[in-house]
Amino acid sequence: MQFFGGSEISPSLPAPTASGNNALMMYVFNRNGICLLYREWNRPLRTLNAQQDHKLMFGLLFSLKSLTAKMDPTSMDKGNLGVPQLPRQGCSFHSFHTNTYKLSFMETPSGIKIILVTHPRTGDLREPLKYIYNLYVEHVVKNPLYTPGTLIK
């Protein structure tokens, strides 16, 4: 795949080059919070161990989804914050960016969440996320040796 570059760790963040050396990390979660896939290409600072990192990421997204739905100015019906939502209510956010990274997120109705952390000046990543989801379907879901809900090897 030309989108992802090599995996060297460097202390300062490289600017996006013409060859597209953009991505920092990728996570894929399923609806139960199990991290199916984690890949990193360029992550200078690691603060937590892998388990806690995944839980933190999943919790962050879950809460952000809930928060964005409750703050939606166009929706009619609002429950209390923290109440589990029915799948059809509420909008879903797709990215946020800080001064050092941008996090893009895609969730399917079946609960598969794909997260890509990239350089902050990356454009809208919804199409690439859909492309990754298609790859997931083609190679993981259709693989008869893969049990749904376990780590992708």
Partner 1 sequence: MPPVAPRSGDAIFANVERVNAELFTLTYGAIVRQLLTDLEEVEEVNKQLDQMGYNIGVRLIDEFLAKSHVSRCVDFKETAEVIAKVGFKMFLGITATVTNWDAEGTSCSLVLEDNPLVDFVELPDTCQGLYYCNILSGVIRGALEMVSMKTEVTWVRDMLRGDDAYELQVKLLKQVPEEYPYKDDE
Report the interface residues with partner 1, using CB under 8 A: 31-33, 55, 58-59, 62, 84-88, 108-112, 124, 126-127, 130, 133-134, 136-137, 141-142, 148
Minimum distance, C-beta of residue 119 to partner 1, in the bound complex (Å) = 19
Are the CB atoms for 68 and 92 separated by under 8 Å? yes
**What is the token pair recorded at 27?**
């996570």
Biggest CA pair distance of the chain: 48
Looking at the Cβ atoms of 89 and 100, the one nearer to partner 1 is: 89
Looking at the Cβ atoms of 14 and 20, the one nearer to partner 1 is: 20
Minimum distance, C-beta of residue 105 to partner 1, in the bound complex (Å) = 14
Phi-psi region of 44 (alpha: psi -120 to 50; beta: other; left: phi over 0): alpha
Looking at the Cβ atoms of 46 and 55, the one nearer to partner 1 is: 55
Q: How far apart are CA 116 and CA 118, in angstroms?
A: 6
β pairing state of 102-107 and 35-40: unpaired
Minimum distance, C-beta of residue 13 to partner 1, in the bound complex (Å) = 26
Looking at the Cβ atoms of 11 and 84, the one nearer to partner 1 is: 84
Looking at the Cβ atoms of 25 and 90, the one nearer to partner 1 is: 90
Minimum distance, C-beta of residue 142 to partner 1, in the bound complex (Å) = 7
Q: How far apart are CA 10 and CA 84, in angstroms?
A: 41
Q: How far apart are CA 64 and CA 123, in angstroms?
A: 21
Minimum distance, C-beta of residue 149 to partner 1, in the bound complex (Å) = 9
